[in-house]
């Protein structure tokens, strides 16, 4: 596929790297010559200096022979104009990163602009939603939902006293009745393992479980975790729009919310917009302030400041005061895998949330959803099996899925199936597959 990406910031660069490594033909546009030079040196792509909203620049980039345009600059208007321009050239798929909520809530005056964009992605809203999901579980380092929420992928770290420590996966499967989940991947140190029956789970493994959502409390118990209920959340940092979105989500679910923000004027603005949140002027790294506001009593702590370093520091302070769940916002995508290693429960990134959404439209073979995992270099893809698919009527054992892939779940009507080698695919099945990068192409071809 030929993909034109407008914007060589963190999202555009990461997306270009990811897709070029999969063999797509990538053209990247950015007005900053230093960014363009860096991308050209680091990636196997064509990078062009220029304004992505300019017709001359788009034509120089080959817009007329492009299959997909992805506009991910930090300027909403540039992204919208790029999409409108691409429409004139017959580009099939046009995706724009849009942060200003006015473009979503006031569609009538912007109807012509919206018609030029097939998909509008709000990174801050997606990040807030993901944060809320991660706060719900005492264990989750990552969460993703498939099959209309009935299938869940859960990443968690196994506690030393967990019942599953030292047990082979085959033995575990034999002892659990009516099991509707499986271990899809294990991260042990720097090694990613796509496990088989003779693999054992060890203490401190980061494991990824795919299964029926209703059975995830059972998984948490096996990994050494107790029941958890979210009642009170503290948010460090109110300058970003993610804070507003998350506070609104918490209020909708009757969860108490306290926001700490150093800018007094921003605090006044937040207090006017969020009538159910307590907004305080202060520094989230001030240990005395955190103690005074009851950090020991919060169930969830979220660091949303404008600094990665401040988010990590305040997150570690919260953990030292026994906050049950700590989620931090990380701007630099490459730092995300490090977060769980230093004791913080989970990390979120608006940039990676944007990439996840975009990948769904790049994948072939009836892709319904995509989740790029943070802790390991892998993707979970949900496919719809078409009536003319080559895998219909064949057993999983006979299809020869790539070595670094695993079929995690199959939804067939109202039934969720955790497959084994004898499972046979049928038209209309929704199939969830985990795959490492070297297996993605082969997996897509099987479902094409």
Provide CB contacts within 8 A for 187, sequence distance 6+.
Answer: 193, 205, 206, 207, 208, 375, 376
CB atoms within 10 A of CB 109: 8
Provide CB contacts within 8 A for 159, sequence distance 6+.
Answer: 203, 223, 224, 225
User: Per the confidence metrics, is the pTM higher than 0.85?
Assistant: no
Q: Which residues pair with 372 in a beta bridge?
A: 379
Find where tokens 């029926």 sit.
212
- pLDDT value at position 363? 65
- pLDDT value at position 281? 95
Which residues in the chain show pLDDT less than 50?
107-109, 112-113
Contact between 174 and 432 under an 8 Å Cβ cutoff? The reply is no
- pLDDT value at position 109? 47
Q: What are the structural domains, with CATH classification, of the chain? A: 2-121 (3.40.50.720), 229-323 (3.40.50.720), 358-447 (3.30.70.1450)
- pLDDT value at position 104? 64
DSSP class of 427: T
- pLDDT value at position 262? 95
Can you say whether residue 159 is alpha, beta or left, with left for phi > 0 and alpha for psi between -120 and 50 degrees? beta
Report residue 174 as tokens: 């034999």
Contact between 302 and 321 under an 8 Å Cβ cutoff? The reply is no
Strands 181-188 and 206-212: antiparallel
- pLDDT value at position 335? 83
Q: Could you tell me how far CA 417 lies from the centroid of its own chain?
A: 24
């Amino acid at each position: 596929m030929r993909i034109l990406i407008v914007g060589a910031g963190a999202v555009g660069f990461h997306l270009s790297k990811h897709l070029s490594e999969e063999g797509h033909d990538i053209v990247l546009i950015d007005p900053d010559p230093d960014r363009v030079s860096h991308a050209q040196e680091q990636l196997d792509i064509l990078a062009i200096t220029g304004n992505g909203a300019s017709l001359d620049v788009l034509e120089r980039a080959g817009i007329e022979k492009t299959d997909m345009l992805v506009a991910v600059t930090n300027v909403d208007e540039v992204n919208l104009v790029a999409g409108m321009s691409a429409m004139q050239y017959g580009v099939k798929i046009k995706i724009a990163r849009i942060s200003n909520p006015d473009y979503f809530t006031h569609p009538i005056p912007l109807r012509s602009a919206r018609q030029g964009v097939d998909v509008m992605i709000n990174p801050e809203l997606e990040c807030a939603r993901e944060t809320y999901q991660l706060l719900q579980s005492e264990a989750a380092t990552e969460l993703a939902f498939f099959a209309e929420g009935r299938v869940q992928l859960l990443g968690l770290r196994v506690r030393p006293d967990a019942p599953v420590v030292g047990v082979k996966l085959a033995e575990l499967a034999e002892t659990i009745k009516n099991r509707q989940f499986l271990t899809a991947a294990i991260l042990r140190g720097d090694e990613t393992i796509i496990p088989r029956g003779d693999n054992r789970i060890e203490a401190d493994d980061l494991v990824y479980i795919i299964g029926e959502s209703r059975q995830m409390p059972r998984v948490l118990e096996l990994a050494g975790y107790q029941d958890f209920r979210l009642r009170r959340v503290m948010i460090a940092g109110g300058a970003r729009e993610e804070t507003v979105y998350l506070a609104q989500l918490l209020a909708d679910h009757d969860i108490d919310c306290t926001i700490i923000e150093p800018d007094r004027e921003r605090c006044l603005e937040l207090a006017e917009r969020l009538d159910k949140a307590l907004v305080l002027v202060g520094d989230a790294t001030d240990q005395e302030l955190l103690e005074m506001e009851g950090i020991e009593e919060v169930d969830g702590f979220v660091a949303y400041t404008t600094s990665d370093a401040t988010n990590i520091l305040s997150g570690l302070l919260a953990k030292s005061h026994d906050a049950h769940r700590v989620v931090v916002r990380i701007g630099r995508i490459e730092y995300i895998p490090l977060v769980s290693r230093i004791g913080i429960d989970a990390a979120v990134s608006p940039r990676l949330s944007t990439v996840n959404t975009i990948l769904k439209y790049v994948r072939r073979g009836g892709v319904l959803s995509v989740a790029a995992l943070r802790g390991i270099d892998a993707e979970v893809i949900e496919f719809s099996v078409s009536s003319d698919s080559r895998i219909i009527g064949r057993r999983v054992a006979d299809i020869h899925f790539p070595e670094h892939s695993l079929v995690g779940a199959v939804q067939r009507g109202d039934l969720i199936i955790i497959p084994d080698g004898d499972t046979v695919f049928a038209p209309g099945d929704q199939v969830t597959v985990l795959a490492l990068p070297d297996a993605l192409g082969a997996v897509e071809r099987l479902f094409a």
